[in-house]
Chain A
C-alpha cells in the first residue's frame, strides 16, 4: 500500500507541528522496551533524527520506502539496525523502536480524545508506511548479523588454530572447540606447513579443549598424523580426558602406534626423552 501525495504531505505537517511532543512520547515508549540499556538522552537524539528523516521523506512526497525521496531515511534506518545489531539488541527490540512511532503519532493526533474518520484513514495509511520502515530495519538487521557471524567464524578459525613452538624442534597445536572438516583441514595444513618452516620433527596435538571426539574428528586427527609421518615428523596426541578415552574405546577408534599422553606436559617430557635418546 502506498501513500498518496496528499497523505504524505499531511503527515509531514503532523510530524513538523508536533515534533517535540512526538519525540518525547516516542522516546518514552522505546526506552520502556529497551529497559535502560540505552540512555534516554541517546534515544531522544536518535528519535529526533529519525523524525526529521521521516518528515523529509514525506515532505519530498515519498509514497513508499523504496522511492528516491526516502533515500536518506533508508540510510538512517540501516544505520540504526546496524548499531542495534552490534550492541546486541534483538530484532524485535530494533523493530519496535520504529513501530512505536505509530503510537506517538496517534497520541499526537488524538489530543482531544476524539479522532474523525478522515484522520483515522490518514493514520492507517501512515501506519503502513511506518510498518514498511520497521520491516526494513528487520532486513538490514539480519544482514548485519549475518556479516557479523561470518566475520566471527573467520576470526575464530584464525584464533583457534595457533601453532606454537614449544621447544627446539617441537611445535604444539592446542585445539579448542568443535572440529568440523573445514576447520580440521585448516589445522592440518597449518600444522604441516609449520613443521616444514621450522624444521621441527615433533608435533604435539593437544585436544584438551575439544568437547567431544567422534569418528570423524578422530579420522581428521589420524590423517594429520599420517601426513606428518609421510613428511618425516612424529605427532603425539595429548590432553585426552577420561570421558574422551572412553568414547574412543567405545567407538572402536584405533590410534595404532600413535603416542597418546594425558597432558601436554607429559607429551613434552616424552618428546624430550625421545630426542635425548636420539641425540646420544
Chain B
C-alpha cells in the first residue's frame, strides 16, 4: 500500500497528497499525522490537496477528522490548494467541511498558521473559529 509522506518544516508538518488515495491510505495518513504531531511537537499541519482532482465524502470526512485530532493535540490544520472544480462539486454534494481551515496555497496557509499562533500567544485557549474561513452550509434550494 502506498503511503503519503509527511514533511516537517520548522514548526509545521506539510503533507502533499499526490496520489488518488484508496480509503485505507487516507486512514493511514490520519494515523501517521497524529503520531508525527506528538513526536515532533509541531503546532501546525498543512495539507496540500492541489493535486487532487476529486474530494469525495470519504476524503472530506478524513480531512475533518485529521483537523479534529490535531486540534486535540494542540495543532491547527489548514487544507490548501483546493481546485475550483473540486470546491464547486463539494458544494453541490452538500459537504461543507465544518471545522476545517482553508487557504488558497501553501504560502497563504503558512501565513494563516503564523497569525493564529501570534493571535493566541502562548495562551492555548483559542480556536473558536470566528476568524478565517469557516464554511457554512448552503441551504437547500
Contact = CB atoms under 8 A, between A and B. Distances in A.
B97 interface: yes
Classify chain B's interface size.
20 to 34
A254 B139 CA distance: 8
B104 A233 contact: yes
A196 B88 contact: no
A226 B104 contact: no
Nearest to B130: A257
A67 interface: no
A40 B92 CA distance: 61
A228 B96 CA distance: 11
Given A215-B141, A223-B91, A233-B133, A199 B108 contact: yes
Contact of A230 (B109, B112, B135, B141): B135
Contacts of A193: 84
A199 B135 contact: no
A255 to B, nearest CB: 10
Contacts of A272: none
Interface string B107-120: 11100100100000
B75 to A, nearest CB: 18
A192 B81 CA distance: 12
B134 A229 contact: yes
A196 B96 contact: no
Interface in A195-240: 195-196, 199-201, 215-216, 219, 222-223, 226-234
Contacts of A196: 83-84, 104-105
Given A215-B141, A233-B133, A227 B104 contact: no
Q: Is the interface of B mostly helix, strand, loop or mixed?
A: mixed
A271 to B, nearest CB: 14
Nearest to A257: B136
Nearest to A191: B84
A113 interface: no
B84 A199 contact: no
A77 to B, nearest CB: 48
Given A196-B83, A199-B107, A232-B102, A226 B135 contact: yes
Nearest to A223: B91
Interface of B: 78-80, 82-85, 87-88, 90-92, 96-97, 101-105, 107-109, 112, 115, 133-139, 141
Given A219-B138, A226-B137, A232-B103, 14 more contacts: A188-B88, A192-B87, A192-B88, A196-B105, A200-B104, A219-B141, A223-B138, A226-B91, A227-B88, A229-B134, A230-B90, A232-B78, A232-B104, A256-B136
Interface of A: 188-189, 192-193, 195-196, 199-201, 215-216, 219, 222-223, 226-234, 254, 256-257, 278
